[in-house]
Amino acid sequence: MRHVGRPLARLEDYHLLYGQARYVDDIELPGMLHAGFVRSPYAHARVRRVDASEASSMPGVVAVFTPQSGKPFDFAPGGKVRYQGEAVAMVVAADRYALYDALERVYVDYEPLPAVVDPIKAMEPGAPLVDESLGTNVSHREKYASGDVERALASSDRLVEEELSTGRVVPSAMEPHGVVAAHDGRTLLIYDSTQKPHVVRREVARSLDVPLAAVRVVQPDVGGAFGSKIQVYPEEVRVAAAAMALRRPVKWIATRSEDFKVTTYGRGLVLRYKAGFTRDGVLKAVKGEVIADAGAYDWFGFDLASTAATMLPGAYKVVDLDVDAVSVLTNKPPLGPYRGAGRPEATLFIERIMDLIADETGLDPVEVRRRNLVPAGPYDNPLGLHYDSGEYLAGLERGVAATGYYDLVRRAEAARAEGRVLGVGMSFYIEITTYGHEVAIVRAERDGSFTVAVGIAPHGQGDATGIAQLVADELQIPIERVRVVWGDTDVVPDGVGTDGSRSLTAGGSAAVLAARRLLDELRKAAEELLGGPATYSEGVFRSGDKSATVGEIVEAVYRGKVKAQLEAMEVYRARPTFPYGVGVVEVELDPETGIARPLLYRSYDDIGVVVNPLLAEGQIHGGALQGISQVLYEQVVYDQDGSLATPNFAFYHVPKAVEAPRYEPHFAETPHRSDHPTGTKGVGEAPTVASAAATIRALEDAIRRAAGRRVRLRSTPVTPEEIYRLIHGGA
């Protein structure tokens, strides 16, 4: 029986369901110490002096590290802090009670400096400099261009110019950041709530100048990440450094409010553009710049801006483009990848442009997309990306039909008679997934079962189940005879980890190829043992009237009867692939409060081979709600001095189950395979890419029905106050 394509329940959930999960904070080692950080209350300030004398003398305090401790602790680089919450000292104590008492006894003399929190203002002459050594707040700029934009704009029937923006969001994983480190004189052992254990290993080894072979990173159970645990944070390196210096295990677990200040934030991109289009709705040209609010350090800001810039054309035929990707420093926590990482922003931007064309020309939004879409792939995006496969025009038609878009529009019209205000929005998306290498090892066991070790680092997606399905089919055995392990750098030598919707495509392909290689090794051994050419089926090799199971072959190798490798490793180099599809959102609006509630999310996604529909649908549910929430609920607020006004869940709204819509996902019946061995394209970020653009259009539609006039929404989130103002007379 084939396993790929079946909606199997996750195999890796038993220990979670029965209370056996082990998160970083559950790890207790003999002699464990607890670490905490003194954090700046200012968004921008010089650190004149740090006095830790009182804290150091308190009972239970083992050590205090300050800017004077130097590398690798490296507090207040350049002698100042650049965002509220940046660490200026580290206390290590015997228990958490002593730790938190001591943190309040570290005295820091700050010289407050003017802060800049708006990336547009940060680009202006005379703005406070976040990093004086650069002489500017623009940390990186790169141009992506094709065709003749000026000619295309000049020949357009209509021109528009505006600014679109996506507000910052907090990734809001259930488990805050945390790390445990221990050093036994030979090996530095790190338990880390991370998406990338091998990357943590490399970064810690480099930062502490120790051999890579002397560092082991273990990823315990991880309570969510959404991209926020891709980055190796300074705290992780500092905890490891403290464990080495003190020769005792050290643990750091962020509080929720601390996590709001420590974690990288998502979104935070702006598109300032001019576009030209024809009177019959064809986009001719786009000229502009994608600006990333990179925060205090440009860890990922430019990557996000460049991804959004190069994906800005979507699957549309426009070839005259001139788009700068700009990364700008501000006095806020650094920007980082958050589910979709540049692709939701690109889709929101280009779909906002498509909706504007529809409104300006009076054309149906679907018709505008129909007139602009590239018919099919392979297609070379004019800004340098190669879309591998797909039928974009046909996909639009199938998606509109599968989601019942026009039925929902008619339902919204009919709801008027009932006194209800409904709005419907749709988006067409194409996104880029998968990159880099991945490693897998498959080992044959004495009883004919197989162990698969992978470099990807699942943390709730069900990837181990999907890989088990792929390997079970490759080896023609029941899935119960495949065990998948991950998250330990001593078990598999390398890997990139989990992000970019790449796990099943890159990690699964590595596992499939490793299984094939191992099967070839076992076949050679079987032919030697059986004395002739052998065939293989369902765990058994046959040659003439003789046969041997996989377990018997393994036993023969151990007894020296035949020679064979019982383990195969594959280093697979993955190439980008491009899922696409349609997202549709229905919202209901209360005109008297301005509160909008999502009722329904329907989608049609061509994500290549669907290994496990149950897992894929789960990704649609979570990802779609995050995109919807970006538009309706989540708002990071700073004051003019860079102080965070939404420091925890008392002020920052993340939707609960009661606020989620009904989900009705559809997958392409005849999907376009990627050219990877798995045929997959990835689904983890697709719903987030599609849903934000569809939601903001649904809001526009609902506000239009309530106000009796057309409105234009240019930023996220869209607050109830703004909705109320637009309905009741605001321009």
Q: pLDDT by residue (tens digit) across 543-564?
A: 999 999 999 999 999 999 999 9
Place of tokens 């009867």: 561
Report whether 327 contacts 117 (CB < 8 A): no
Tokens in use for 212? 């890579």
Q: pLDDT by residue (tens digit) across 69-92?
A: 999 999 999 999 999 999 999 999
- Does the structure show a pLDDT above 70 at 730? no
The topology under which CATH files domain 115-171+265-387 is Aldehyde Oxidoreductase; domain 4 (3.30.365)
Tokens in use for 93? 């104590």
Q: pLDDT by residue (tens digit) across 585-619?
A: 999 999 999 999 999 999 999 999 999 999 999 99
Whether the domain at 31-113 and the domain at 437-573 fall into the same CATH topology:
no
**Across 331-338, average pLDDT:** 97
The arrangement of secondary structure in 437-573, i.e. its CATH architecture, is 2-Layer Sandwich (3.30)
Model-wide pTM > 0.85: yes
Q: pLDDT by residue (tens digit) across 227-284?
A: 999 999 999 999 999 999 999 999 999 999 999 998 999 999 999 999 999 999 999 9
Helix (H) or strand (E) holding 287: strand 283-295
Confidence band of 729 (pLDDT split at 50, 70, 90): confident
Question: From residue 100, how far is each of 39, 47, 60, 106 by CA, in Å?
Answer: 12, 21, 11, 11
> DSSP of 383-446, one letter per residue?
TS-EEEEE-HHHHHHHHHHHHTHHHHHHHHHHHGGGT-EEEEEEEEEE--B--SEEEEEEEE-T
For 390-431+577-731, CATH number? 3.30.365.10
Question: From residue 527, how far is each of 476, 532, 534, 543, 560 by CA, in Å?
Answer: 19, 5, 6, 7, 15
Beta strands in 330-397 (DSSP E): 377-380, 386-390
- Which one, of 668, 634, 665, 671, lies nearest residue 652 by Cα? 634
Cα gap 65→660, rounded to integer Å = 45
Cα gap 701→415, rounded to integer Å = 13
Exposed e or buried b per residue across 21-34, where buried means at least 16 C-beta atoms within 10 angstroms of its C-beta: eebbbebebeeebb
Q: What is the 3-state secondary structure (H, E, C) of 307-330?
A: HHHHCCCCCECCCEEEEEEEEEEC
Cα gap 428→383, rounded to integer Å = 19
- Which one, of 428, 431, 506, lies nearest residue 470 by Cα? 506
- Which one, of 341, 330, 343, lies nearest residue 385 by Cα? 343
- Does the structure show a pLDDT above 60 at 731? no
Cα gap 47→76, rounded to integer Å = 7
Cis bond leading into 333, ω under 30°? no
Name every residue whose Cβ is closer than 8 Å to that of residue 71 and which is 6 or more positions away in sequence.
Answer: none
Q: pLDDT by residue (tens digit) across 173-194?
A: 999 999 999 999 999 999 999 9
The topology under which CATH files domain 172-263 is Aldehyde Oxidoreductase; domain 4 (3.30.365)
Cα gap 653→387, rounded to integer Å = 37
Q: How far is CA 315 from the centre of its chain?
A: 22
Q: Look at the alpha carbons of 138, 142, 146, 150 in this order and tell me if their dihedral is positive or negative.
A: positive
Q: Look at the alpha carbons of 57, 60, 66, 72 in this order and tell me if their dihedral is positive or negative.
A: positive
Torsion of CA 400, 395, 342, 327, to 10 degrees: -100
- Average of per-residue pLDDT values in the chain: 97
For 31-113, CATH number? 3.90.1170.50
Report whether 382 contacts 313 (CB < 8 A): yes
Cα gap 54→65, rounded to integer Å = 13
The percentage of residues in the chain with a pLDDT greater than 70, rounded to a whole number, is: 100
- Does the structure show a pLDDT above 70 at 503? yes
Q: pLDDT by residue (tens digit) across 389-419?
A: 999 999 999 999 999 999 999 999 999 999 9
- Could you tell me which residues are beta bridge partners of residue 159? 276
Q: What is the 3-state secondary structure (H, E, C) of 604-642?
A: EEECECCCCHHHHHHHHHHHHHHHHHHHHCCCCCECCCC
Every domain of the chain and the residues it spans: 31-113, 115-171+265-387, 172-263, 390-431+577-731, 437-573
- Which one, of 341, 352, 421, 339, lies nearest residue 621 by Cα? 339
Torsion of CA 704, 707, 708, 711, to 10 degrees: -40
Give me the pLDDT at residue 1, please. Answer: 80
- Does the structure show a pLDDT above 80 at 700? yes
Q: pLDDT by residue (tens digit) across 364-377?
A: 999 999 999 999 99
- Does the structure show a pLDDT above 60 at 667? yes
Confidence band of 343 (pLDDT split at 50, 70, 90): very high
